[in-house]
Amino acid sequence: MTDFFKGIPQIRFEGAESDNEFAFRHYNPDEMLAGKRMEDHLRFAVAYWHSFAWPGGDPFGGQTFERPWFGDSIALAKMKADVAFEMFDILQAPFFCFHDADVRPEGADFAENTRNLEEIVDYIGTKMEGSKTRLLWGTANLFSNRRFMSGAATNPDPEVFAWSAATVKTCMDATQRLGGENYVLWGGREGYETLLNTDLTRESEQMGRFLSMVVDYKHKIGFKGAILIEPKPQEPSKHQYDYDVATVYGFLKRFGLENEVKVNIEQGHAILAGHSFEHEIALAASLGIFGSIDMNRNDYQSGWDTDQFPDSVPEMARAYYEILRAGGYTTGGTNFDAKIRRQSLDPEDLILAHVGAMDVCARALKAAAALLADGGLEANRQARYAGWDAPENRTLLSSDLASIEARVRAQGINPQPRSGRQERLENLWNRFV
Amino acid sequence: MTDFFKGIPQIRFEGAESDNEFAFRHYNPDEMLAGKRMEDHLRFAVAYWHSFAWPGGDPFGGQTFERPWFGDSIALAKMKADVAFEMFDILQAPFFCFHDADVRPEGADFAENTRNLEEIVDYIGTKMEGSKTRLLWGTANLFSNRRFMSGAATNPDPEVFAWSAATVKTCMDATQRLGGENYVLWGGREGYETLLNTDLTRESEQMGRFLSMVVDYKHKIGFKGAILIEPKPQEPSKHQYDYDVATVYGFLKRFGLENEVKVNIEQGHAILAGHSFEHEIALAASLGIFGSIDMNRNDYQSGWDTDQFPDSVPEMARAYYEILRAGGYTTGGTNFDAKIRRQSLDPEDLILAHVGAMDVCARALKAAAALLADGGLEANRQARYAGWDAPENRTLLSSDLASIEARVRAQGINPQPRSGRQERLENLWNRFV
Amino acid sequence: MTDFFKGIPQIRFEGAESDNEFAFRHYNPDEMLAGKRMEDHLRFAVAYWHSFAWPGGDPFGGQTFERPWFGDSIALAKMKADVAFEMFDILQAPFFCFHDADVRPEGADFAENTRNLEEIVDYIGTKMEGSKTRLLWGTANLFSNRRFMSGAATNPDPEVFAWSAATVKTCMDATQRLGGENYVLWGGREGYETLLNTDLTRESEQMGRFLSMVVDYKHKIGFKGAILIEPKPQEPSKHQYDYDVATVYGFLKRFGLENEVKVNIEQGHAILAGHSFEHEIALAASLGIFGSIDMNRNDYQSGWDTDQFPDSVPEMARAYYEILRAGGYTTGGTNFDAKIRRQSLDPEDLILAHVGAMDVCARALKAAAALLADGGLEANRQARYAGWDAPENRTLLSSDLASIEARVRAQGINPQPRSGRQERLENLWNRFV
Amino acid sequence: MTDFFKGIPQIRFEGAESDNEFAFRHYNPDEMLAGKRMEDHLRFAVAYWHSFAWPGGDPFGGQTFERPWFGDSIALAKMKADVAFEMFDILQAPFFCFHDADVRPEGADFAENTRNLEEIVDYIGTKMEGSKTRLLWGTANLFSNRRFMSGAATNPDPEVFAWSAATVKTCMDATQRLGGENYVLWGGREGYETLLNTDLTRESEQMGRFLSMVVDYKHKIGFKGAILIEPKPQEPSKHQYDYDVATVYGFLKRFGLENEVKVNIEQGHAILAGHSFEHEIALAASLGIFGSIDMNRNDYQSGWDTDQFPDSVPEMARAYYEILRAGGYTTGGTNFDAKIRRQSLDPEDLILAHVGAMDVCARALKAAAALLADGGLEANRQARYAGWDAPENRTLLSSDLASIEARVRAQGINPQPRSGRQERLENLWNRFV
C-alpha cells in the first residue's frame, strides 16, 4: 500500500440525500435497470494516462502535479501501478484503459521498450488477480515521442511505419495477455500540418494497410475483443484523417473493414468536429459501427480538447439514450478520458472528479432508461414516418423517377407540411431528465 | 434589350496596369496557360439565384434590392432571363447555372410548376442560341418552399419524396434540353433540426435510393454530364447529411455510387465544415470524386454561409493548385455561388463583383500554374516520401505485424525525425503568389 | 376572442408528477422562495416578435407559418394583439415585450408609422386593462427596413440618424404610455460589413451622442424605467459595436453613461461572443450594469443566432445563480427571446414551447436558490481569497512595486499553489441541480 | 561564435526575381516609402521565446527540437544569447523582445531569479554593444511556473501578487537597462478556469491596482517607453480578462489609465476573440490606444493559438493599411510572435521562417502605402459620410430626440439607402495588393 490516497475511504452508494463528498449518491452498481445491473450498463473505466501520467502542463505552463511516481524507471512505474489499483479499488472501478507509454518507462530502443512493457504488464497482471478491475482496452501511444511527429502509419518515413506496426503488435499482445475487451487506435498524428508537404493518397493507403494488418493480427492471435478507431478532427494535427464517425465509416468501406472495426467516440472530439456527442453515437449505431465511448466534456467556449469530467446530466442522458436505443454496449464501456484541471492538485481532487462523473452518468442513464421505457419519444418518432409503412409508399423506394413523376401528376400529389413538434419533444425529455 | 445595365460596357481585358473599373486586368480568356486557353481552364459560371433571384434579405432584415423583374409571372421571369443574358454577355461568361425556382414562377401545383419551367426553359434555350454562354449545371430547389421544411428525399412524408423525385426528373430534363454539362444536388434540408424526432436509418436509406434513381435516370435519358453532390455541414439544417467530402464519399460507397457521382465543392461550405477549401478539393481528387467548384468566400469571423465573392488571390491559388494537380476540370467549372452584399444596391455592383472575382481567380490560376511548372513543390513532396519507393520498404505494405516486428528487432530500426520544412515551402509558395 | 388557441386551457401548476402536457410541473407562481414569490423572482415576459410576427423563414426558405393575422393593416394588427393577449392569459405571463414594427403596420412615412403605432398602443393599452400582463420593455426596430441597412444611429446618412432618433422618441413615448419598466436598444445594424467603407470614429461618436439623447429624453419625460443596451457580437452585421458586456461597459464609460444605462443580456448573444451566459451576467453584476436577460438557447454547433427555447436546467441554473448572487432583478426580467422552430407549425407548439421553458427556468431558479441558501459554494469562494483579508496583505493593493519587491526579498516569499478544487465544486453544484 | 547557424549567410536584399532562399526579395531596409526607410516603418523584432526557448512540444507530444543550449544554467543561457545574436545579425533584425524566463535560468527563489536575470541582462547588454539590434520590449513571464497557475496579479493568494509585482519591477529595470522602447504585460493566467471559484470583483480590482503600480513605477524610474497590454480572449485560461481591445479599453477607463497604457495587438489573439486583425488595430487607433503588434498567423481551422509565421500578403496589407492610416508606429513595432512548426527541426527553418515573414510584411506594407497614396479608398470613405459635414446635419449630434422628431415631421425626412459599394472597394484593394 502506498499512502497517496491515505485517509480516503472506498466510495459507497449512500443515496441522493447523502451530503458525504466521498459517497455515490446515484451510482449504485447493483441496482437493476432495464434488465441489467447498473454497473453492467455503464461499464466505467479509468484512464491511466490522465490520472497517473499527466503532469498538469498546458501550452503555456509546465508541471503542476507533484506525484511521487513521476520519473522514468521500472520501480516508479510499479509505484504508479500500485497507486492506480488503489484508486480503482477506492472507486470500485470495473475497468481501466492504458497506452504502453503510460505504464512503462521509455526505453532507448524498441527492444527495451518491449522488455519494459512486458515487465510492467506482468506486474499489472498480478495486481489484477487481486482486484475486480478488468481491462476495457489497451492502445499504443504513437504520438508523443518525437519520432511520431509526422505520423505513425502515415509517416513519410517507412521506418516509422515499421516501428509503429511493431509497437502495435506488442500492445495487442499486452492487451490480450491482460484480458482486454477491446483494442483502440487513436491517430493523433495521422493527419497533416500543411497540405504543401503531404501526399494524401499515399498516406491513406498506408493507413488502410496498417489497419488491415491490425485486423489480421487480431484474428491470428485469436483476440476476441473489438478493434476500435477513435475519431478526432484535429489537434494536435491541423487535420486528422479520422475526422469523425462518418469519415471513419467511409475509410472502413474503402478498405473493406466495416465489419471488422468499430468506433470509440469521445464527447470532446465530437464537439471539435462540429457535432453533438449523441449525433456521433446515433450515426455510428445506424451504420453498425458503434463500439465504445470516451466520456468527458469539452468546454463549449474553448476551441481545443479540454477533456474535462462530465458534469451535465441532460447532455449525458442524450448520449445514453442513443446507447440504450442501440442495445447498449457489447464489448464497449464508458471510459473517463478526462483529466482534472491542472489547478486541482490534491489526491482528493482525483478521486472526487471520478465520483462526481460516475454519479452524473448514473443519473443520465436512469433518465434515459426511464424515457425509453415510457416509449413516448419512440412512439412519436414512429408516427412521424408512419406514412412510409403504407404499401403504396414503401414501393416508392424501389421505383424510378419517371414512374414517380407520372404518379405525382396522376394523383395530384401536393404535400402539406406537418409540425415537427420539437419543443413538445423537448418538454417530454425534460419530464425524465 | 432591357436598360438595367444601361451604360455598362462589355468587359474586356486591358492588362494589370489598367485603372478602368470596367475592365479585366488579369482574366484574359484567350491567353494560353499550361496548354489551354485561360477560359477553358477556369470555366466561369454565373449563378442565376444570387444575381437575379435574391432580394437582399437576411435573418434580421427584408428586401433591399429593387429589381424590375421581381414578382411571380411568366412575363417577369422572361425579363429576368433577358437581364441575365445581358449580364452574361457583358461579362463574356462562358457558363451559367440555375435552379428551377430561380427561372420560373412558382405554380399552384406540380403540373403548373412543370409547365412554367418548360416555358422558361424554351425561352432560355432560344436566348442561348444567340449567346456564347452555355449551361454548366442545372438543379432543383428542394429547400425553399415550405413543403420541404422537413427534407426532400429524407422527408418523413413519402409524398414529399415523390414530389421531389418528380421535380428532379423535370430539372434533369431541362438540364439536358439546355445542354448542361452537369446536374447538381444540394440537400439543404436533407438533415435534421433535432435528433429527437429523426430516424437516421430511414432517412439515409431514402437518400441513398433517391440518388440511385437519379443515376438510373441519367443513364436512361442518355445524359452525358456528371451527377454532382454539393456537401455542406449545416445551415439551414442543424445537421446536413452531406457534411463534407469525406462524408459524401462514405455515403457513395455505402450505396455503390462512388463511380457514378462526384462532388461540387464550395469554399464557404468547406470552411463551415472545419476544412480549408484546398483540403476538400485535394481529398476529392485523391478519392476520385472531384467534379466542380462553387467559388466564393466565407467570412472567417462569421459562423454562417456568407457567400461573398472571392477576394484573396493566395487562398484561391491553393484551390487552383489542387485542381491543376488533379488534371483540371473535365465537366466541372468555377461557378460563382456568391452574392453581392445586401448594401450593394446598384447594377454596377453586380457586374463589378463578378469582374473582380474573375480577376482574382485568373491571378490565382496563373500563380498555381507557374508553381506547378516550376516543380519545386512537387519535387519536395516526392522526396519526402522517397523512402517508400525502396523495394524493401514497399513490401512493408503487404507484410504483417509479426514480420514487421521481427524486422524492427533484427535491424535495430530506430527512426530519427526529419524536418517537414513547412516554412520553406510557404516561402516557395509566396515566390509565385 | 379569436379561436386561434381554441381548446387550449389556461396553464396551471400541477406538480412534478403531472403528465399533462398543458400544465406547469415546476413553475408555481405563488411559491415562496428566498423571500419572494416565484413569479416575482422570474418575471417572465413573452416576446411579441418571435411569437406573433415571425413568418418562419430562414436564409434558405420562406414562410412556413400560416397565421390569420399576417398582413399589413390596422385590423390585422389588432387581431394579432387579440391573439397575443389570449396567449399571455393562457400562460399567465406577467410581462410582454415588443418592437414598434411587431405591433403596427408599416406606413409610407414617419408620420404614418407614428399614427399606426399610437393607434395600436391605445388598443394594447385597453387590452392591458383587462389583463394581468404588464410591459417589461419596449423597443424600436431599427434594423429590418432597408433604410437601416447601413446602420441607424451609426448610419453614414444623417437622415437615417434623424429618422432613428425620431422613432426612438415615439417608442419611448409608447413604452411610458403602457407603463413599461425598461426601454431597450439593440443595435443590430450598428456595426459594419467591411472596414473598407467604415469610419469607426465617426460611427462611435454618433452612437454615443444618440444614447446620450435617449438618456436625456428619459429624464425629460420622467420615465422611471431603466435604459438597457443589448450586446451582440455580430449577425446580421459582420461586426456589431455592442459586442459583449465588457465592450458595452467601455462604451458607457467613454460617454459617461455607466450610471445611466444597464445591459439586457441574451444567452445566444453571449455564446456567439465566445462567452458563457453566466459569465456575461456575473461580469455585468460586477461592473454594476446588470439589468435584464433575454432567455433563450443557442445551439452550440451552429454559428448563428438560433434563438431556441431554453431546455437545459443546469445551464439556466448557472444564470439564475449569478442573478440571485447579484440580488435578483430590479426592473429587469426573464424575456423569452426565443422562437419555435419553423417546423413547429401548430398553435399548441407556441404554447408548449413557453410552458416547457418556464418550467426549465423554475427548476433552475429553485436549484440556484437552494445552492445559495446552502452557502457551501460561497464559503469556498470566500475561503479561497481569505489571505487578502489579512491586514498586511490588504495593504499590498495600496503599495508600490519597489516596496513590494523589498518585502518579497525580506520575507523570502515563495508562494506554493493550492488546489482550485474545481471538480469538487462541480460535484457540489450537482447536488443541487 | 557558435556554429549553430554554420554556413548560413547574412540575408541581403536581392529583389523579387531572386531565387536564392537566403535572400530578401521584398524587404529592403533602406528603401524609402512614404517618407521613411522601410526598416523604420516595419521595426521588425525577433521573439526570444519561440525561437530560442520553445522545445517543440504540444499538448500531445514532447520536445522535438534538440538545441545545444537547452538546460538550466548560466552557461547555457549565455550560449543561447550568443546564438540569438547570431540570428539577429543574420537577419539584420533591428529589434528583439524577451521574457525574463526566456533569458535566465530558473532559480530556487526570487533572489536567485533576480541575480540570474541581472547577470544575463549584463551579458545581453554587452552583446548589444556590438550589434545593431535593439530591444523593442521586455516582459515578465507570469504564467509558466506552477506558482502562477491561478493567476499573477489576480491570484487568490496575495503572496503570488507580491511575487509578481516584485518580478515585474525587476523586468522593468532590465528593460530600462537595455534601452527597451516598451514594456509589455500579457496576462495569460489573469482569468479563470471556472466561475464557481472566482471572485470577479476582487480579481479586477487586484488587476487594476497592479497596472497602476506599473505605471507609477515607470514614472518613478523615468522609463520613457510605453506600457502595453496584450489582449487575448482565452488559452491557457478558459476566460482571460484582457479579452480584446474593446475590453482592455473599458478596463483602462475604469482605472483611469487610458492615457497611460496602450495595446500590443496579436493577429492570432484577434482571431481567437472573433475579430479580424485589422479590426483590432483600427479600433485601438480610433480609441487612441494603439501601441504595437505581435505579428503572426492563426490557422482559421484551429481553435487554439497556432502562432505561425504570417504568409498572407493581403491579410497583412489590411493590418499595415490601418497602421499607416493611424500614422505608423511610435514606440511600437512588428514583433514576430511566431514559432516554426515542431516538425521544422533544422536551423535553416528558423532563419527562413523569419526571412519569408519579413518579405510578406514588406510586400504588405508596400501595397498598403501605395493604396493610401492613391487615396481612392479614403476618398470613398469620406464621401460616404459627407452628409454629416453639412451644417444642418452636424447640429444633429448636439440636438435632442424631441427636436429631431419635429424636424423629421416638418421636413418629411424619408431616407433612401445608398450602395455601400463593398465589392468595388475590394476590387480597388486588389489593384494594389
Closest CA to C99 of C141, C59, C55, C67: C141
- Is residue B243 a part of any domain in this protein? yes
**pLDDT value at position A193?**
98
Q: Tell me how close the Cα of B406 comes to any Cα of chain D, in angstroms.
A: 27
Question: Which chain A residues are Cβ-neighbours of D58 within 8 angstroms?
Answer: 59, 236
Query: What single string gives the DSSP state of each residue in A94-122?
Result: SEEEEEHHHHS---SSHHHHHHHHHHHHH
A310, A392: one domain: no
Domain boundary among A374, A395, A424: A374
Window A:328-357, CB contacts with D under 8 Å:
341-343
A250, A361: one domain: yes
**Cβ distance of B343 and C150 shorter than 8 Å:** yes
In angstroms, the CA B432 to CA C16 distance is 69
Q: Taken in order A335, A338, A344, A345, is the CA torsion positive or negative? A: positive
Given CB atoms, is D14 within the 8 Å cutoff of chain B? no
Given CB atoms, is D385 within the 8 Å cutoff of chain C? yes
**pLDDT value at position A125?**
98
Is B3 annotated in some ligand binding site? no
Q: Is residue D203 over pLDDT 90?
A: yes
pLDDT in tens, B231-243: 999 999 999 999 9
Question: Which chain D residues are Cβ-neighbours of C143 within 8 angstroms?
Answer: none
- Is residue A391 a part of any domain in this protein? yes
Given CB atoms, is C55 within the 8 Å cutoff of chain A? no
Domain ranges, residue D343: 12-374
Q: Is residue C1 over pLDDT 90?
A: no
Q: Exposed (0-12), middle (13-18) or buried (19+): which is D400, by Cβ within 10 Å?
A: middle
Residue of C356, C423, C431 with shortest CB distance to A352: C423
In angstroms, the CA D290 to CA D277 distance is 13
Is C26 annotated in some ligand binding site? no
Query: What single string gives the DSSP state of each residue in D40-76?
Result: HHH-EEEEHIIIII----BTTB------TT-SSSHHH
Tell me the catalytic residues of A.
99, 102
In angstroms, the CA B96 to CA B99 distance is 11
Q: Tell me how close the Cα of A107 comes to any Cα of chain C, in angstroms.
A: 33
A1: confidence class by pLDDT, cuts 50, 70, 90: confident
C295, C390: one domain: no
Q: Is residue D308 over pLDDT 90?
A: yes
Alpha helices by DSSP H, listed for A337-389, are 347-374, 376-384
pLDDT in tens, C41-67: 999 999 999 999 999 999 999 999 999
Residue of B341, B424, B430 with shortest CB distance to D359: B430
**pLDDT value at position D1?**
83
- Is residue C2 a part of any domain in this protein? no
How many Cβ atoms are within 10 Å of C235's Cβ, its own excluded?
Answer: 22
Task: State which residue of chain A sits closest to B145, comparing Cα positions.
Answer: A417
A303, A414: one domain: no
D103, D169: one domain: yes
Which of B149, B269, B308 to probe by mutation at the C interface, max C CB count within 10 Å? B149
Closest CA to C308 of C31, C60, C28, C50: C50
Query: DSSP secondary-structure letter at B58?
Result: B
A265, A220: one domain: yes
Q: What does pTM read for this prediction?
A: 0.98
The H or E element that residue D360 is part of is helix D347-374
On whether the CB atoms of residues D279 and C239 are closer than 8 A, the answer is yes
The H or E element that residue D294 is part of is strand D290-295
Q: Given the residues C100, C102, C242, C359, select the one marked as catalytic.
A: C102
In angstroms, the CA B118 to CA B114 distance is 6
pLDDT in tens, C378-418: 999 999 999 999 998 999 999 999 999 999 999 999 999 99
A324, A418: one domain: no
Task: State which residue of chain B sits closest to A393, comparing Cα positions.
Answer: B158
Task: State which residue of chain B sits closest to C58, comparing Cα positions.
Answer: B59
**Known catalytic membership, residue B173:** no
pLDDT in tens, A9-47: 999 999 999 999 999 999 999 999 999 999 999 999 999
B306, B359: one domain: yes
- Is residue B140 a part of any domain in this protein? yes
Given CB atoms, is B408 within the 8 Å cutoff of chain A? yes
Closest CA to A332 of A7, A44, A36, A18: A44
Q: Given the residues D50, D99, D275, D279, select the one marked as catalytic.
A: D99
Q: Tell me how close the Cα of C362 comes to any Cα of chain D, in angstroms.
A: 21
Neighbours of chain A (3+ CB pairs under 8 A): B, C, D
- Is residue B201 a part of any domain in this protein? yes
**pLDDT value at position C225?**
97
Residue of D19, D345, D417 with shortest CB distance to B417: D345
**pLDDT value at position A195?**
98
In angstroms, the CA B49 to CA B26 distance is 26
**pLDDT value at position A133?**
98
Question: Which chain A residues are Cβ-neighbours of B253 within 8 angstroms?
Answer: 250, 253-254
Closest CA to B156 of D429, A78, A390: A390
Given CB atoms, is D400 within the 8 Å cutoff of chain B? no
Given CB atoms, is C272 within the 8 Å cutoff of chain B? yes
On whether the CB atoms of residues D313 and D363 are closer than 8 A, the answer is yes
Window B:185-224, CB contacts with C under 8 Å:
188-189, 193-194
Closest CA to A418 of B146, B170, C177, D244: B146
Window D:279-298, CB contacts with C under 8 Å:
279, 282-283, 286-287
Task: State which residue of chain D sits closest to B272, comparing Cα positions.
Answer: D301
pLDDT in tens, D148-195: 999 999 999 999 999 999 999 999 999 999 999 999 999 999 999 999
Q: Find the CATH number of the domain harbouring C240.
A: 3.20.20.150
Q: Taken in order A37, A38, A39, A43, is the CA torsion positive or negative? A: positive
- Is residue D141 a part of any domain in this protein? yes
**pLDDT value at position B303?**
97
In angstroms, the CA D280 to CA C239 distance is 11
How confident is the model over C268-295, as a mean pLDDT?
Answer: 98
Give every CB contact of residue A387 below 8 A, 6+ residues apart in sequence: A393, B156, B157, B158, B159
- Is residue C321 a part of any domain in this protein? yes
Q: Which three cell numbers stand for residue B263?
A: 462532388
For chain D, give the mean pLDDT.
Answer: 98
In angstroms, the CA D51 to CA B409 distance is 37
B1: confidence class by pLDDT, cuts 50, 70, 90: confident
How many Cβ atoms are within 10 Å of C373's Cβ, its own excluded?
Answer: 12
On whether the CB atoms of residues D251 and D219 are closer than 8 A, the answer is no
A287, A243: one domain: yes
**pLDDT value at position C300?**
97
Residues annotated within the binding site of A are 230, 266, 269, 294, 305, 307, 337
D208, D276: one domain: yes
B369, B248: one domain: yes
Give every CB contact of residue A411 below 8 A, 6+ residues apart in sequence: none
For chain C, give the mean pLDDT.
Answer: 98
Q: Is residue B122 over pLDDT 90?
A: yes
Given CB atoms, is C390 within the 8 Å cutoff of chain D? yes
- Is residue C7 a part of any domain in this protein? no
How confident is the model over D363-376, as a mean pLDDT?
Answer: 98
pLDDT in tens, C203-243: 999 999 999 999 999 999 999 999 999 999 999 999 999 99
In sequence order, what are the beta bridge partners of B46? B96, B336
Q: How many domains does chain D have?
A: 2
B333, B417: one domain: no
Task: State which residue of chain D sits closest to A340, comparing Cα positions.
Answer: D193
Which of C149, C186, C266 to probe by mutation at the B interface, max B CB count within 10 Å? C149
For chain B, give the mean pLDDT.
Answer: 98
**pLDDT value at position D115?**
98
B169: confidence class by pLDDT, cuts 50, 70, 90: very high
Which of C148, C197, C302 to probe by mutation at the B interface, max B CB count within 10 Å? C302
Question: Which chain D residues are Cβ-neighbours of C216 within 8 angstroms?
Answer: 400-401
Q: Is residue A99 over pLDDT 90?
A: yes
